[in-house]
Amino acid sequence: MIDIKLIRENPDIVKENIKKKFQDEKLPFVDEVKELDERVRKLKNEGDLLRSEKNKKSSEIGLLMRDGKKDEAMKIKEEISSFGEKIEKLEEEEKKLNDQIREKMFVIPNIMDESVPIGEDDSKNVEIEKFGEPVVPDYEIPYHADIISSFNGLDKESAGRTSGEGFYYLLGDIARLHEAMLAYARDFMIDKGFTYAIPPFMIRSDVVTGVMSFPEMEEMMYKIEGEDLYLIGTSEHSMIGRFKGQIVKEADLPIAMTSYSPCFRKEGGSHGLEERGLYRVHQFEKQEMIVLCKPEERMDWYNKMWKYTVDFFRSLDVPVRTLECCSGDLADLKVKSCDVEAWSPRQKTYFEVGSCSTLGDAQARRLGIRTKGKDGIYYVDTLNNTVVATPRGLIAVVENNYQADGTLKIPKVLQPYMGGKELLEPIKK
């Protein structure tokens, strides 16, 4: 959510930003908010004048009573009573208009960074840099689900009976490899100075609407029937929500945390071979990083954070690249975002394994997360980034470490988490 002062003083900047995001249907909201805000301020002024007059009249009552002018005092009491009724009506109307403003402000997109490339959709995202050589070996790389099954590591048929499409059982060494990646990701980020956290896996609706846009919420979130609780789609939601309504100490900034959680997403409309495996599922596990910082520090943190994900995957012998998200692919709360994509030697292309975003103070405004500096109270900036989300991360490791004889090389950094194993031998031939 942007600062309403920007709409008051520079509505054309807000409109131009909307046009760059190809959301022209939202342009009327800017003028509507501006008009509603003017009405609110007019009501507030009327209310302030009435309160001032009420206080003035109230001070007269004591003097009149002292002078024995009881009738005059009673008249003023009646007048004050009518002032109270008028003030109450003004306050009710002011609240109603403020609710309308907030509703419209929630769908006006955040102001993007000037460096964001302009484009209608993800096809216009811009490759920034490649890390590692994207090798296609001279032997066939099977479909990832078939590789995993060769180690008796996957059972989707049973998961279909227990839970339906989009769920899975991971078994044996593959399940262990999956968890090894998460444990390594945890330690990787702790070594970077991040505080480890395990957050609540369910959050209330006021936290959900504070951390994401309404379209994302509807498309992604599972709601707990009969309760004001949602299953989290990423631990960023509950981690940022931890600071809801708080004034954090400026001396404590930046706050850098890395969090583990299961994640639950609807993932509607998935199709195709890749989605029938473990690429697009309703349940997965993730190691996340979130940062709260001063506005002037956000771009330094943004660049550090996506590089951590690159370094993480390179340590697993997985080539990656970074893509700058264009304006049309940028979620409404985001100021700037880039994706980290892993190389798939089977598909001979890259696929997304992480996303790094700075949201400016949009989430902080919605949730009331502030700090106090020498110039007064201000909203903090928030950032988030994926360290690893798996089984998607597992797919990248499996494909890039698959050997011609059907064995799976375990990256050196994961071997301590695998009891020292260096290689997995297929069980099914």
List residues bridging with 320 in a β-sheet.
131, 342
What's the whole-number average pLDDT of the chain?
92
Domain residue spans of the chain: 4-105, 122-424
Superfamily of domain 4-105: Serine-tRNA synthetase, tRNA binding domain (1.10.287.40)
The whole-angstrom separation of Cα 221 and Cα 144 is: 27
CA pseudo-torsion sign 37, 208, 219, 328: positive
Closest C-alpha to 402, from 149, 55, 30, 60: 149
* CA atoms within a 13 Å half-sphere pointing along the CA-CB vector of 42: 8
pLDDT digits (tens, 9 = 90+) for 290-347: 999 999 999 999 999 999 999 999 999 999 999 999 999 999 999 999 999 999 999 9
CA R_g for the chain: 28
Edge-to-edge order in the sheet of strand 370-373: 247-249, 370-373, 376-379
What separation in angstroms does the CA of 422 have from each of 401, 406, 410, 415, 425?
11, 14, 5, 6, 10
Q: Is 386 helix (H, G, I), strand (E, B) or coil?
A: strand
Residue 43's alpha-carbon distances to 92, 137, 273, in angstroms, are 10, 71, 59
Percentages helix, strand, coil for the chain (3-state, rounded to 5) are 50, 20, 30
**Alpha carbon of 52 to those of 73, 82, 418: distances in Å?**
18, 14, 73
Show the tokens assigned to 326. 């264009």
pLDDT digits (tens, 9 = 90+) for 5-28: 999 999 999 999 999 999 999 999
| Confidence band for 60, pLDDT divided at 50, 70 and 90 | low
Q: Which of 197, 285, 276 is nearest to 243 (CA)?
A: 197
pLDDT tens string 204-213: 999 999 998 7
- Average pLDDT of the residues in 178-201: 98
- Please report which confidence band the pLDDT of residue 66 belongs to, taking 50, 70 and 90 as the band edges: low
pLDDT at 177 over 50: yes
Q: How confident is the model at residue 65 (pLDDT cuts 50, 70, 90)?
A: low
Assign residue 383 a region (left: φ > 0; alpha: ψ between -120 and 50; beta: otherwise). beta
Question: Of 150, 130, 180, nearest to 285 (Cα)?
Answer: 180
Q: What is the mean pLDDT of residues 369-390?
A: 96
The whole-number average pLDDT for the span 88-110 is 92
Contact 381, 293 (CB under 8 A): yes
* Residue 48 contacts residue 146 (beta carbons within 8 Å): no
pLDDT at 109 over 50: yes
pLDDT in tens, 225-256: 999 999 999 999 999 999 999 999 999 999 99
Architecture of domain 122-424: 2-Layer Sandwich (3.30)
Whether the pLDDT of residue 54 is over 90: the answer is no
Give me the torsion for CA of 80, 82, 86, 92, rounded to 10°. 100
Task: Label residue 273 by pLDDT band (50, 70, 90).
Answer: very low
Indicate if 122-424 has the same CATH topology as 4-105: no
